[in-house]
Structure 1
Amino acid sequence: MTGSEVPTPFRLAYVPGVTPTKWVRVWNERLPEVPLTLIPVSAADAADVLRAGDADAGLVRLPIDRTELSAIPLYTETTVVVVPKDHDVAGADEVVAEDLADAVVLHPLDDTLEWERRPGVAAKERPATTADAVELVAAGVGLLVVPQSLARLHHRKDLTYRPVSDAPESRVALSWPEAHTTDLVEEFIGIVRGRTVNSSRGRAPTPAQPKAKSQRPDASGAKRKPGAAGGSTGKGARGGPGAGKGAKRGKPRRRS
């Protein structure tokens, strides 16, 4: 690569409430030569962005339209109800859906929770976004049931939230166009799954370094040179390099 060439970035889309920071940090450590570009998208638009090729992969909320897309579930979030701080629900550690039966519960258009039967009384109109719904909760119009990360994202000092123990949970997944499972996509899959840099999938493992030959110390504590026999290296040492070819071992002479 010449100095004028700019590497193509890896484009990662992500929906509100999802925090890709830790995975981006690992990416930058492993592939410093490939920039990673973050693309914020709405939960409703995430699948279309991936199919259109406007991102290489995306952190999305399930369910999504899986047409032409692959997806790997990553984790599941607790579901909470967002209420004013002075609401009765704020005094409980957690609630069940039945506790919300008499309350107006807002249902924003970008909601991804899958309910068999939604709790509470439906509002006359659906807010366009979760952010709009939070503003309506603050205005006393109703309550809002969302994944906990969205309650944190839209936190206000006059609001709080409590877990809803029997509510459906939100699943976060990594998704990408099935026909474009590139090496960089595989690399990011390995990162979110916690694979090490030397994993068999993803980047090529670091080659093993040859081990140095061990050098055992002789009786004096000095390390023996490779190939030397016994502790002596002088000429004529028995069996050593100084021994003559075909030399015979004689009998020791008696002292007179």
Structure 2
Amino acid sequence: MTGSDVSPSFRLAYVPGVTPTKWVRIWNERLPDVPLTLVPVSAAEAPAALRAGDADAGLVRLPVDGTDLSAIPLYTETTVVVIPKDHLVAAVEEVSAGDLADDVVLHPLDDTLGWDDPPGVPAKERPATTADAVELVAAGIGLLVVPQSLARLHHRKDLTYRTVTDVPQSRVALSWPEGETTDLVEHFIGIVRGRTVNSTRGPRTPDGPKSERPEKKKGAASRKAAGKPAGRTARGGSAASRGAKRGKPRRRS
């Protein structure tokens, strides 16, 4: 089988907490003949997966290390603290990093916030994953500060979360290998940027407005040609036809 015989497809990597559902739905509506395959990867593994060709593009967390990957920032997440429902912090809407100074705050090895100085009292050991840290919060060992999407991903009925101000925030971006900006990558860029199917920079379709505009111009010209004849008066008839009956005025000597 030659390369031209291979059906096109698109592989999209995504990190925990990111929900690509809306963009995948739009892709399936616009390119029903090009299957999109989701490739789950950890935040730390995402850049290597793109470099290795395991995915055509990926929804990743910034920063992306190296200069061989392109990235388009999409949005910034709210940072929250995950707490037991009976914790004192649960009584307020938001807290500052200083409000957590006396609490043990867990700092998992797969942390995505890139702390320079994590808040609270450090735990004796760092949990291996965010999922492990959530379990420790439920056991009353400490608290956990994470992007809001990760708090939702690891939701438990006995836990809740509150917004934390003056702390780092996680930014989500679309990334792909530099120099590998294929037509399908461009198509997905248009989707995440909110371009419509008929956008001038987005993917074109045979039935887009560009093919309709000549019809509109033709229609406008036809209506103009079919409008009220020039020179028609309230009495009926045209000025040109009456002038023909009167003839040319005689010149006085």
TM-score over 0.5 for the pair: yes
Structure-1 residue corresponding to 2:249: none
**Structure 1 residue 8: Cα displacement:** 2.6
**Structure 1 residue 179: Cα displacement:** 1.9
Structure-2 residue corresponding to 1:142: 142
Match runs of 1:82-101 below 5 Å: 82-101=82-101
- Count of aligned positions: 222
Distance 1:50 1:192 in 2: 18
C-alpha RMSD of matched pairs (Å): 2.2
CA contact (8 A) 1:7 1:35 kept: no
SS at 1:108's partner residue?
Answer: coil
Q: Based on CA coordinates, which of the two structures has the bigger radius of gyration?
A: 1
CA contact (8 A) 2:13 2:41 kept: yes
Distance 2:187 2:202 in 1: 5
CA contact (8 A) 1:58 1:175 kept: yes
Distance 2:177 2:64 in 1: 13
**Structure 1 residue 218: Cα displacement:** 8.3
Structure-2 residue corresponding to 1:224: none
Distance 2:156 2:188 in 1: 34
Distance 2:83 2:44 in 1: 24
Structure-1 residue corresponding to 2:173: 173
Residues 165-212 of structure 1, C-alpha deviations (whole Å, 9 max, x = no match): 111111000000012110110110111001121223232363323324
Residues 6-25 of structure 1, C-alpha deviations (whole Å, 9 max, x = no match): 62310000011101111111
CA contact (8 A) 1:58 1:176 kept: yes
SS at 1:179's partner residue?
Answer: coil
The residue type paired with residue 50 of structure 2 is L
Extract unaligned runs of 5+ from structure 2. 230-236, 247-253
Structure-2 residue corresponding to 1:225: none
The residue type paired with residue 194 of structure 1 is G
Structure-2 residue corresponding to 1:183: 183
**Structure 1 residue 152: Cα displacement:** 0.6
SS at 2:115's partner residue?
Answer: coil
| Deviation larger for 99-108 or 60-69 | 60-69
CA contact (8 A) 2:196 2:202 kept: no
Identity among equivalent pairs (%): 75
Q: How does the TM-score come out when normalised to structure 2?
A: 0.81
SS at 1:110's partner residue?
Answer: coil
Distance 2:66 2:31 in 1: 29
Extract unaligned runs of 5+ from structure 1. 220-229, 231-237, 239-248, 252-256
Match runs of 1:90-169 below 5 Å: 90-169=90-169
Distance 1:179 1:84 in 2: 47
Distance 2:245 2:37 in 1: 82
Give 1 or 2: higher helix fraction. Answer: 2
Regions of 4+ moved over 4 Å: none
Q: How does the TM-score come out when normalised to structure 1?
A: 0.80
Residues 98-126 of structure 1, C-alpha deviations (whole Å, 9 max, x = no match): 11111111111111103231101111111
Residues 86-143 of structure 1, C-alpha deviations (whole Å, 9 max, x = no match): 1111111110001111111111111110323110111111111111110010011110
CA contact (8 A) 2:112 2:170 kept: yes
**Structure 1 residue 30: Cα displacement:** 1.1
SS at 1:54's partner residue?
Answer: coil
Structure-1 residue corresponding to 2:44: 44
Structure-2 residue corresponding to 1:234: none
Structure-2 residue corresponding to 1:208: 211
Distance 1:123 1:67 in 2: 35
